[in-house]
Chain A
């Protein structure tokens, strides 16, 4: 027996060592999520779906706010507001932080659900995805994520193929893709078709998700200032969103009251470039990040009750 156990342990140790050394090669090219689970706990966060993941660039915020604001946004499937996202945010937040800045992005999809009953939290899609399955979100290398949740094949970690997606260490998902007009038009058409056929008929407003948005903001308020932002999208996608939730502003009005301000950038939808209608092109993302950062700086300085801006609808509350 002793011989069997010793030999098995010896062989398993060699296998584990080689395997773990291969796993430790994982980086920003591995997948669009991994790196976010490898940073230490954070004081300031950007939250939301893939729009925020691609659109809001922490390096720009650092220039304006002199703070590291980590992008902890995923996708509409992984991180709509709900228990799963809230629990993961709790794990990512540095305890005892009191001066953090939290940029919470919202749109109709992030407070809707594809389940038959939009409040059927047991069957929420994100329950089976990486945010729900990753208990350790601040470990580098994150073997737990790679072993339990990583959806690809491990040999890709040896190949080190450079794809069009790169997840920066600050959590910003950089997409390097052809932006010639015909490619962009094709991608926008495909995305609009996808949203019209696969999302719009199935998504419904979820009061439970709205409640979780409220809870998320309440949590963040204990650690600093919370700014609510609705990012710009292509007008065609915006039309679909309006169809899904024409009274979006009314629905979130109560949530807005507990934040430090709400910036609705959809009034300037036309002013930016999108890779597929839903996600900002990185140059436009830079501009949008700058505007949001400037707005946060100004609201921090002015502490006014309510104001508006010619570029968009700004409501500040302090």
Chain B
């Protein structure tokens, strides 16, 4: 069930009405309803993988209690590794087995050996990377004595499988979400309206921006040999806005939907394309994943405590793992490596925390220096996205060499005016609203009601008219 489908448009109001009316304010009933509807939502993708989700939930619930009750560190460690091992084992089999088998066979063939390793025809269970990371953060937090185990199985299951975040995040933390699941929730008009507004903006980004850009990005990337350098640049730009519109749009819908049920999820995007350096970009892009890697990988590896070399090594590790997390393809690893390279100057010169506030706060326009920094960071990001989008590394390299040709200065063969206008509209609205939680969080709030409603109606209609062929979200298979 896609967020941008008619099925979801029917599902959401039904769950909403049942949640606030049929449960009569009973927290227990509300949580049961959330769990049942989450499993239904997940089952609509592929009911067979529900068992995997349930197994993963039971495993982490049980090992979590065992970790807490273990008498000594050794036993705690045993239960921790049992959970981590099985969770990563599933992830490995479903997501990475074929990659390793193919890479191993390729490696052997380079040495002159012929290897014919069997590859598995496995379907990747949707959301597996996300709910595995939910579970991992929970057991690791327990092991580190940051939290106490959740004894109520229903509540724990809601934490893992709450439908807005189930298939593509944000990757939640027990410390943030579980207390909300325990707390009595009452309807709040302002929050619900805010939720709807965020859903509307998310749908606009997904349907109008991402899906329109996808059409051109796909055409250009899939036939890159046929296009001029300037068109290839345009293709990379389209993909840059496609992935942003797609994933941040998804996150907005997820956050807005959760807010309708009185639950606040972690913010996942904070206007990343207005970043002034790569470190800032990574504090603003897929925030829940970046902070997950920081807390559960970078810091346990020693973080920045072991001197400069340790810092550099750990930075490379988290970016490479982050790349690999996105998929079993060398393109993602190169993409992670490139980002690690980009961030190195700010790590070495300790300037990575220079830009903590949003750019040009309280001003209409950035300074020339800020504008230059934003443009440079944006260009570096666009370049890295080429690897992310390409079918393989060879394709990415040929794409780049296609850009670096005399035809770079020719007029692009593809010039979709309407899509470019939509992108410009997105940039303007995001710039104006960059100090809020999402671009239109305060847009029109001071206007008279009919005018504000007209804005929502127009946005909704533009979104609806641009829909039609439903495209999956890019991050679903990750």
Chain A residues in the interface with B (C-beta under 8 A): 1, 3-4, 8, 11, 14-15, 18-19, 22, 147-148, 150-156, 158
Contacts and interface: CB of A to CB of B under 8 A. Distances in A.
Interface in B161-210: 187, 189, 192-193, 196
Nearest to A15: B460
Closest 4 CB pairs of A and B: A155-B465, A153-B468, A154-B465, A15-B460
A152 B469 contact: yes
A147 B456 CA distance: 21
Contacts of B469: 151-153
Contacts of A1: 20, 187, 189
Given A18-B461, A19-B461, 15 more contacts: A1-B20, A1-B187, A3-B189, A4-B187, A4-B193, A15-B461, A18-B457, A148-B6, A151-B468, A151-B469, A153-B465, A153-B469, A154-B465, A154-B467, A155-B465
Given A11-B453, A11-B457, A15-B457, A4 B465 contact: no
Contacts of A11: 453, 456-457, 460
Given A1-B20, A14-B457, A154 B189 contact: no
A307 B23 CA distance: 74
Central interface residue in B20, B189, B464, by most chain A CB within 10 Å: B464
Nearest to A1: B187
A148 B470 CA distance: 9
A226 to B, nearest CB: 36
A25 to B, nearest CB: 12
B466 A154 contact: yes
Contacts of A153: 465-469
A22 B463 CA distance: 13
A155 B196 CA distance: 24
A172 B53 CA distance: 49
Contacts of B20: 1
Given A11-B457, A14-B457, A151-B469, A4 B464 contact: no
Q: Is the interface of A mostly helix, strand, loop or mixed?
A: helix
10 contacts: A15-B461, A15-B464, A18-B461, A19-B464, A22-B465, A147-B6, A151-B468, A153-B468, A154-B464, A154-B465
Contacts of B464: 15, 19, 154
A15 B467 CA distance: 14
Contact of A8 (B6, B196, B466, B467): B196
B99 to A, nearest CB: 24
Central interface residue in A4, A147, A152, by most chain B CB within 10 Å: A4
A151 B467 CA distance: 9
A154 B465 CA distance: 5
A20 to B, nearest CB: 10
Given A22-B465, A154-B467, A4 B453 contact: no
Interface residues of B, number: 18
A150 B469 CA distance: 7
Nearest to B460: A15
Nearest to A156: B468
A279 B115 CA distance: 48
B467 A4 contact: no
A155 to B, nearest CB: 4
A150 B193 contact: no
A16 B346 CA distance: 51
A11 to B, nearest CB: 6
Contacts of B192: 4
Contacts of A158: 465
B233 to A, nearest CB: 25
Contacts of B466: 153-155
Nearest to A8: B196
A159 to B, nearest CB: 10
Contacts of B193: 4
Interface string B41-59: 0000000000000000000
Interface in B425-478: 453, 456-457, 460-461, 464-469
A8 B20 CA distance: 15
A15 B6 CA distance: 15
A206 B461 CA distance: 46
Contacts of A148: 6
A139 to B, nearest CB: 16
Contacts of B468: 150-154, 156
Interface string B255-277: 00000000000000000000000
Contacts of B460: 11, 15
Contacts of A156: 468
A245 to B, nearest CB: 29
B123 to A, nearest CB: 13
A266 B189 CA distance: 70
B349 to A, nearest CB: 48
Nearest to A3: B189
Contacts of A4: 187, 189, 192-193
A148 B464 CA distance: 13
A151 B187 CA distance: 38
Central interface residue in B187, B192, B453, B465, by most chain A CB within 10 Å: B465
A153 B419 CA distance: 13
B188 to A, nearest CB: 9
Interface in B353-393: none
Contacts of A154: 464-468
A3 B189 CA distance: 8
Nearest to B196: A8
A14 B464 CA distance: 13
Contacts of A150: 468
A149 B394 CA distance: 37
A8 B192 CA distance: 10
Nearest to B17: A5
B373 to A, nearest CB: 37
A19 B457 CA distance: 11
A14 B456 CA distance: 11
Contacts of B465: 19, 22, 153-155, 158
Contacts of A19: 461, 464-465
Nearest to B215: A153
Contacts of A152: 468-469
Nearest to B21: A1
A164 B192 CA distance: 48
A1 B16 CA distance: 11
A149 to B, nearest CB: 10
Contacts of A8: 196
Nearest to A19: B464
A190 B193 CA distance: 55
A158 B418 CA distance: 15
A158 B461 CA distance: 12
B4 to A, nearest CB: 12
A14 B469 CA distance: 23
